[in-house]
A and B are shown apart, each in its own frame.
Chain A
Amino acid sequence: MTDASFMKTFYNGESLPLDAVPEVKLNDFLQAIIDAADHGWRISALFGEGTGPELTLYAVLSATGDGLIGVMRSRCNGNFPSITPYCPQANLFEREIAEQFGVVPEGHPWFKPLRFHQSFRPGYDAWGRADRSAILPGITDFYRVEGDEIHEVAVGPVHAGVIEPGHFRFQCHGEEVFHLEIVLGYQHRGIESALIGGPKPGTLHRMETIAGDTTIAHTWAHCMILESLAAVHIPAKAEVLRGIGLELERLANHTGDLGAIAGDTGYLPTSSYCGRIRGDFLNMTAVMCGSRFGRGLIRPGGTGFDCSQDQSDELLRRIAAARADLTNAVDLIWATPSVLARLEGTGIVARETAKELALTGPAARACGIAMDVRQNFPYGIYQMSQIPVVTARSGDVYGRTLVRWLEAEKSLEFLEEQLSQLPSGRYATHMKQPAGEKIAVALTEGWRGEVCHVALTDKAGRFSRYKIVDPSFHNWPGLAMALRGQQISDFPLCNKSFNLSYCGFDQ
């Protein structure tokens, strides 16, 4: 294929020797990304690597059609031309590279810091700030609409509910939102820079807390990386248990979201029931590993815990009960016209916009984009047992709600099928040291969408760079677009229908 001509392609969860990654001239590299995006490829990761004056840019692109992942790299001395005007999905990646390595994507239409931290390379700063100067999150320029009748509403970073910090600035004309700008970075913990030289004893715990509600998807992606670098194959039972953990995580969060969406419309019954049922799913995860959020469940080489016959019977029993409860609670939404009237037509994201921004997960599927890592880039148990991809067409809050419910149904079916036929045998295998001078890419489908981990190793098999892309990284701009031309009073509902992670973005 023409659009992959510069790239080396391989499959999800594989690793390559670093030498095999083609090195392309900077202009060709950037043009290839634009061309690939035009042909329907997504940028799964675009990042820099290097500590000296010279920077290497890596692009990890994925093609949903044939399950291929393409990588290429390019050397970059100083600034590089921005491709955001031609390829909007590069927007945040370019700003991230600028912030981490102190180079400027020239011609970037809205060039601002993302997470407000010092650059990885001392002495380089894209905004010319002094070395070691204090950088405060949220202190930056904001987009402004001028005019007598325009008013600006600023929300956060401290919110009325017990949620994470993020700053939202609306440019409004009366109740109508012209523009929403989202500023994050308040929870930046420096995970990527701390991973250089890893894996370290604390690495796994960091992975589990990139986004606390996506523990399993991130830990799984990390373990896939380690296993592919060490060429270890994990036992069949471990693959199944990982899949069960991931679907339970999806169910807990989708249930919580369905309840929260109902709660934001002021519809209490579904909101209250789903709040409890979410707890039921979390408790099922605790049956597997003792932690409601799946900490300790996934370990390199397999899982941290076995699942006995008693446990799987117990899980099946609980799933049957939770399925009945959840169906009841969610059917109330579909049977209440006032709730549907509130959801339909609110926060529409056009399919073209979703494609341009490369949205992922339920937010993309609600716009009719059939994209699911479990289906398009199958890994682990999903290579054997496929979960159908669910889409909606409307791209509004209703679509995102519907997709969540249908996905929950599919996950429940998957769980019942897998738990009734658990493979026997071991649940973990012995790990080996990661190989040196390799690149490994792992994609998993978290409940918010595509989780992407990329690792580069040095000669000794230590990480020379570890890149993490949380699905929220792709989807925050989608929320901003969903609000264009909407009522400002609909923001909380739109926000809930995306339910993005602040800490997953901030890392």
Chain B
Amino acid sequence: MTDILIHALLVILMPPLLLGVIGKTKAAFAGRVGPSYFQHYYDLAKLIRKGTVISDTTTWIFTAGPVITLAATLVAALLLPLGNHAAPIAFAGDMVLFAYLFALGRFFTTLAALDTGSSFEGMGAAREATFACLAEPALFFALITLSRMSGTLSLSPMMTNLSVSLWFSSGAALLLLIGGLFIVLLAENCRIPFDDPTTHLELTMVHEVMVLDHSGPAFAYILYGAAMKLFVMGAFFINIALPLKSGNAMLDWGIFILLMLGLAVAIGVVESIMARLRLVRIPQMLVAACILSGFSMLLILR
């Protein structure tokens, strides 16, 4: 029960902090002080209190988009075990639901973008759909590999089964796997080198441009949902990359939180030392991610 409570609290409270840590890391590289670690909480609080402007030409899809996306991400967060603790919801085959909850969220974000009729948002939706097509196989190859390793179709036993010793027995497969997953993690969460979350240039955006017309609370849901997606995918990555186990339940939570903060720093470092890829290069990187996790699957199946 305590674990479920901690799981829920972390899922709800921690995501904006990760963005704060990424921001601080980038600021340190640029020689700036940077906004506070808690800036994203303030931003959300501000947006929630604002009014919303909704264009006359949009339908219910436009307003439903952010809500459905946030809800889908929240459910996905409840399917994923965090830090060696089983997830609140687990059943055989939940890994497929996990993957498609993100797809559902993306589907509605894209529809809401198309609903506005703006040429920018249409462009962003086209880009998002293209990149998602390529990111999805990489994620599925990874899930199949993990399923094969653990002999289960449910995320909770799949993840808790992983341990450091696995790195000695099938290190090559895991290395390929986390290489592919890190690319998917950055691409799915619109981080550099795939997208620039800080840019104001609408023509270069992928994800940001799709939500240009949302404002106030709806925009807060989108930002919160995006932060939560980063949290969930980050936790998925951490579970595989560093399956550290102490045996003590509370200590495991502590290790998990530290690892997540470490991951945020790592993302911040990547964003600081790299420029964005040219848009035409992004599909190539995603295909590379597919190949990495595909080969990882081959290594396990052989």
Which residues of A come within 8 Å of B, CB atoms? Answer: 151-155, 160-161, 174-175, 262, 264-269, 271-273, 276, 336, 338-339, 341-342, 346, 487-493
Contacts and interface: CB of A to CB of B under 8 A. Distances in A.
Contacts of B199: 264, 266
Given A266-B192, A266-B276, A160 B30 contact: no
B278 A153 contact: no
B275 A160 contact: no
A492 B204 contact: yes
B119 interface: yes
B279 A268 contact: no
Interface stretch (B138-146, B240-248, B266-274): B266-274
Contact of B275 (A338, A489, A490): A338
Given A272-B30, A273-B31, A266 B275 contact: yes
B280 A160 contact: no
Contacts of B203: 153, 155, 488-489, 491-492
A75 B271 CA distance: 62
Nearest to B191: A266
Given A266-B196, A271-B30, A346 B278 contact: yes
Q: Say whether chain A's binding surface is mostly helix, strand, loop, or mixed.
A: helix
A87 to B, nearest CB: 33
B123 interface: yes
Given A155-B203, A266-B199, A489-B203, A339 B275 contact: yes
B278 A488 contact: no
Nearest to A496: B201
B237 interface: no
B229 interface: no
Interface string B19-39: 000000010011110000000
Given A151-B119, A488-B123, A489-B203, A268 B276 contact: no
Contacts of A276: 31
B53 to A, nearest CB: 16
B201 A272 contact: no
A269 B25 CA distance: 12
Nearest to A168: B203
Contact of B204 (A152, A161, A174, A489): A489
Which of A266, A272, A493 has the most C-beta atoms of chain B within 10 angstroms of its own C-beta?
A266
Contacts of B196: 266
Contact of B200 (A161, A174, A489): A161
A341 B193 CA distance: 12
B43 interface: no
Closest 7 interchain pairs by CB? A272-B30, A266-B276, A265-B275, A492-B201, A267-B275, A339-B275, A266-B196
Contacts of B276: 265-267, 338, 342
Contacts of A493: 204
B204 to A, nearest CB: 5
Contact of A489 (B26, B31, B279): B279
Interface of B: 26, 29-32, 119-120, 122-123, 126, 192-193, 196, 198-204, 271-281
Contacts, number: 90
A151 B120 CA distance: 11
A175 B280 contact: yes
Given A269-B29, A272-B30, A342-B278, A153 B201 contact: no
A114 B251 CA distance: 69
25 contacts: A151-B119, A152-B119, A153-B203, A174-B126, A175-B123, A175-B280, A264-B204, A267-B275, A268-B29, A268-B30, A269-B30, A269-B31, A269-B272, A271-B30, A272-B31, A272-B32, A336-B274, A338-B193, A338-B275, A341-B275, A342-B276, A487-B279, A489-B278, A490-B204, A492-B201
Contact of B202 (A160, A267, A272, A338): A160
A279 B271 CA distance: 25
Nearest to A262: B275
A264 B274 CA distance: 12
A272 B23 CA distance: 14
A86 B204 CA distance: 36
A161 B29 CA distance: 24
Contacts of B202: 155, 160
Given A160-B200, A266-B199, A336 B30 contact: no
A175 B205 CA distance: 12
A369 B90 CA distance: 68
Contacts of B279: 175, 487, 489-490
Nearest to B199: A266
Contacts of B277: 338, 341-342
A268 B278 contact: no
B157 to A, nearest CB: 40
Nearest to B30: A272
A365 to B, nearest CB: 24
A148 to B, nearest CB: 15
Nearest to B278: A342
Contacts of B123: 153, 175, 488
